[in-house]
Amino acid sequence: MSAPKVSVVIPVYRCEAYLQACIDSLLAQTLREMEFIFVNDASPDDSMSILRRNEALDARIRVIAFPENRGVSAARNAGIEAARGEYIGFCDSDDWVEPQMYERLYALAKEKDAQITFCRVFKDYEQGGGVRSVNVPLGFDTGTRFDRAAIRDTLVPAMLSKETDSDELPLSGYTPRNLFAAPVAKAHAFRPDIRYAEDLLYIVECMLDCSAAAALDEAYYHYRFHAGSVTKRYSPHVPDSHDKSNDALDALFGDLPQCRARMIVRRRKMAVTAVRNLCLPGSPYGFMERVRRARAYMRREDVRAWFAPVRPLAFPPRLALRLLLMKRRMAMTMCALFTYVFDRV
């Protein structure tokens, strides 16, 4: 059998309710020369039975089973190593994709001679028994090609943050929206010690290693937000994983002033996220322990330095309030707002 045009790597852990829909969407791809590598990260539910059943029905499905849980980074790395495709993509097992996704990304890569292509995503929010789908703007027209200089000066900075502090999100550093030429994908690895927000570091390393990338301003990937989504629940890996990822990114940007400037904005945004994380559902801490931990974090020398130059009144009220509370290290008010107000509206 000839090598597939595209390999898709899908880590699987605790997504039994969504896994079959994910599989069905992959098998429905209009690009037929594909393989789908599912890496079962010792999921404690019925995911393995679902995978084995589908593996028997379609020869394009390959299953790797870990005997113990090793995390999403290790799962993706195992899939990358096993992939035989000309290009490598990723999908999360609780998400799904439109039928034309990989055909369009692959065709664009060939047309533009690009080692990486990327598309828009839908954010699907489960609400009241239904789904509210948001088509997230990309900011670049279909066919926009970035050479090495444009990747460094335009594309990577756009992925790190907005030019200044903002409630708007930067260009998503979300691995599954991208398609990577296999030599680029295999030259890098996800860091297993980064267990949260691990995507961006890998993408940036690949971006800086390729000669060209191209944009597809069409939405094909459905990023599903539900009660079990990692961004909606407390993670014990925050802020440690953020710090490791940001330190590694900074190490890449020694001679890239635009990227270094954006990293300060990124660190401030993620510092707010670190305090918010203490107050999310699943947090093991009572209110006063949240305050104690938030205060200790806010008093870190590096965190104080990130917020020292900020002038909060220059920003819209809601953002200004968060920046002011972080700058003045008002942990109790910050935790109260995240516990009872900000994430309840």
Q: What is the pLDDT of residue 231?
A: 67
Q: Residue ranges of the chain with pLDDT lower than 50? A: 344-345
Q: What is the pLDDT of residue 129?
A: 76
* Spatial distance between the Cα atoms of 51 and 62, rounded to a whole number of angstroms: 9
Q: For the chain, give every residue range classified as CATH 3.90.550.10.
A: 6-231
* Spatial distance between the Cα atoms of 159 and 249, rounded to a whole number of angstroms: 12
For the entire predicted model, the pTM comes to: 0.93
Distance of CA 332 to the CA centre of its chain: 30
Q: What is the pLDDT of residue 65?
A: 97
Q: What is the pLDDT of residue 58?
A: 97
Q: What is the pLDDT of residue 254?
A: 86
Checking DSSP bridges between strand 116-127 and strand 61-65, what pairing results, if any?
unpaired
Please tell me the number of Cα atoms within 13 Å of 106 on its side-chain side. 21
CATH class of 6-231: alpha beta
- Return the SS3 of 217: strand
Q: What is the pLDDT of residue 173?
A: 84
Q: What is the pLDDT of residue 344?
A: 47
Q: What is the pLDDT of residue 2?
A: 80
pLDDT digits (tens, 9 = 90+) for 24-80: 999 999 999 999 999 999 999 999 999 999 999 999 999 999 999 999 999 999 999
Please tell me the number of Cα atoms within 13 Å of 171 on its side-chain side. 22
Q: What is the pLDDT of residue 34?
A: 98
Q: What is the pLDDT of residue 1?
A: 57
